[in-house]
Amino acid sequence: MIEKLAIIGVGLIGGSVAMALKEEGVVKEVVGCGRGKANLEKAQARGVIDHFTHDVGEAVKGADMVLLAVPLGAMRDTLHAMRGELADNAVVTDAGSVKSSVVDDVKAVFQKMPDFFVPGHPIAGTERSGVEAAFAELYRNRRVILTPLPETSADALNRVDKMWRQCGAEVTHMSVDHHDEVLAATSHLPHMLAFTLVDSLARMKENDEIFRFAAGGFRDFTRIASSNPVMWRDICVANQKSLNGMLTRFANELHELAALLQSGDEEGLLEVFERAKQARDRYVDGINLEQY
């Protein structure tokens, strides 16, 4: 049982954790913390949180579990604000999309990696954001990755692991670097491609005509280009190293494809497309991935 859960950043991600844990009856008290009063009032009215404060230090006082669900760019300031205010038995975890930058922020603020901090990342979300989009089932059958460090205590890891499983998630542990590589490949790179494609077409002459003739496939392909630009700028900067490697790798493979095309290598083209279709059908459609 979590005695007091502090949710720093009560949006889709943080709000859904609170709702899931309340529904399971495994949390006694939830305090929300954020900057926007209207959003926090909405969260309270919906019963997502029991009460709220705009002060991070105030929010974490007496909390045995603290979830940082703020943008990556706000992580360091938030950590600063809770320093010295945490309870002795507090465990702190986060939900950021990049783990190395969060670990850097934690080390910078606490001057070392504290044993109570468990870096985490729920692979879940929708295009919608804000507490009005939150729902208790968001994490059901979704994956959550935890990236404990050698300094992380077994107790802290177990408590965070348990919290996510109580939300219905499947929890996996991996290293910080491995997480950032995997996410660069499956999430950050695709977002860069979608943003770049839409921006590229938007800057072409007669762009409205071009978009007018886009079919359903284009809509699906570019859906992720409607994501929050500030959040994605933060993710790019935070995962710059892994993402750069992926971008370079991908650009090289595009050049190889262009070479196949220019040399009229029909066999070579077919091989790429067949391998891709097989992998997509096998790994993506074969995996239980509902619409988010």
- Would you say the C-alpha torsion 12, 15, 17, 21 has a positive or negative sign? negative
Cβ atoms within 10 Å of 117's Cβ, excluding its own: 28
Nearer to a copy of itself, 37 or 277 (CB): 277
**Segment near a copy of itself (CB under 8 A); pick from 18-26, 28-36, 57-65, 267-275:** 267-275
Cα distance between residue 137 and residue 168, in whole Å: 8
Asked if 37 is part of the footprint of a copy of itself (rule: CB under 8 A), the reply reads no
Of residues 132 through 161, those in contact with a copy of itself by CB under 8 A are 143, 145
Binding test (CB under 8 A) with a copy of itself, winner from 26, 74, 87, 201: 201
How far is CA 137 from its chain centroid?
Answer: 16
| 205: three-class secondary structure by DSSP | coil
Tokens of 33: 């913390």
Among positions 56, 124, 136, 160, the unique one binding a copy of itself when judged by CB under 8 A? 124
Residue 159: count of CB within 10 angstroms of its CB: 18
Smaller CB separation from a copy of itself, 87 or 247: 247
Q: Does 176 bind a copy of itself (CB under 8 A)?
A: no
Q: Is 111 exposed, middle or buried, given 0-12, 13-18 or 19+ CB atoms closer than 10 A? A: exposed
Residues 212-251 that bind a copy of itself (CB under 8 A): 212-230, 232-233, 236-237, 240, 243-244, 247-251
Q: Which is nearer to a copy of itself, 112 or 212 (CB)?
A: 212
- The reply to whether 270 sits near a copy of itself by the rule CB under 8 A is yes
User: Smallest gap, in angstroms, from Cβ of residue 58 to a copy of itself?
Assistant: 31
- What does the alpha-carbon distance between residue 76 and residue 105 come to, in Å, rounded to a whole number? 5
Residues within window 63-122 making contact with a copy of itself, judged by CB under 8 A: none
Is residue 63 a contact partner of residue 31, using CB atoms and an 8 Å limit? yes
- Minimum distance from residue 142 beta carbon to a copy of itself (Å): 8
